[in-house]
Amino acid sequence: MSRRRPGIEGVLFDCYGTLIDILTDEHDIGTYRCLSRWLMYQGVRIAPERLRASYLRRVREAIDRTGERYPEVRVEEVFAGICAGHSIREVDSGRLGVETARAFRAASLRHLGVIEKSRSLLDLFGTKKLGVVSNGQRVFSEQELRVLGLYDRFDVVVFSSDLGYQKPDPRIYTAALEQMGVPACGVLFIGDDHENDVAAPLRLGMQALHVAEAWRRYGT
């Protein structure tokens, strides 16, 4: 006798490559030239080449300090440290760190849009509890979801920067399930990465589909 598959009470989505089509270039010196000029007007003086080197070094150092297997850092804190170290007048480094992180994202952004097949999935599952679990930085990722008209469609939104670790760490999925209030067996995870969005959720007892399979299965 075959076991009946649990029903779907909630759906968790990955963000980038699943809901949002995005292209950024965080290594292009042009990104740092733009950010360096912007920082000049905020009271921070640092050359583009030094800004890039300092940012990449500080991110590596912050990652090493976490001691996590799948570490995450908060980029606004990285930029706050840079701003504090290169200010030419008194600045609120915490506030400026947030603004610099968003300016950095804007300078590095090459393309941003909604994946329409996945918007159709949101419509299809609209009566279920919905959530996002993303290896992303809330400081700018939340804004991208909002500007694309997606953020308010979700009951739960978890970014790795909230927690200090990334998928496939099981704790990030557990945090989302606890906020959603639905047992793992009743949640479907959809994403574009086989390890992070299919294998890891399955190990926790969730249902899971690669986003391309979800498009095929549900005819979007």
pLDDT by residue (tens digit) across 135-170?
999 999 999 999 999 999 999 999 999 999 999 999
Peptide bond into 168 cis (omega under 30): yes
User: Please, what is the average pLDDT of the chain?
Assistant: 96
| Confidence label for 18 from pLDDT (cuts 50, 70 and 90) | very high
Q: CB-side exposure of 210: number of CA atoms within 13 Å? A: 8
| Cα(67)–Cα(117) distance, integer angstroms | 38
Q: CB-side exposure of 206: number of CA atoms within 13 Å? A: 26
Backbone angles phi, psi at 142, to 5 degrees: -60, -40
Tens digits of residue pLDDT in 169-219: 999 999 999 999 999 999 999 999 999 999 999 999 999 999 999 999 998
Q: How far is CA 45 from the centre of its chain?
A: 29
Tens digits of residue pLDDT in 126-139: 999 999 999 999 99
Tens digits of residue pLDDT in 52-75: 999 999 999 999 999 999 999 999
What is the percent of the chain with per-residue pLDDT over 70, rounded to a whole number? 97
- Cβ-in-10-Å burial (0-12, 13-18, 19+) of 181 comes to exposed
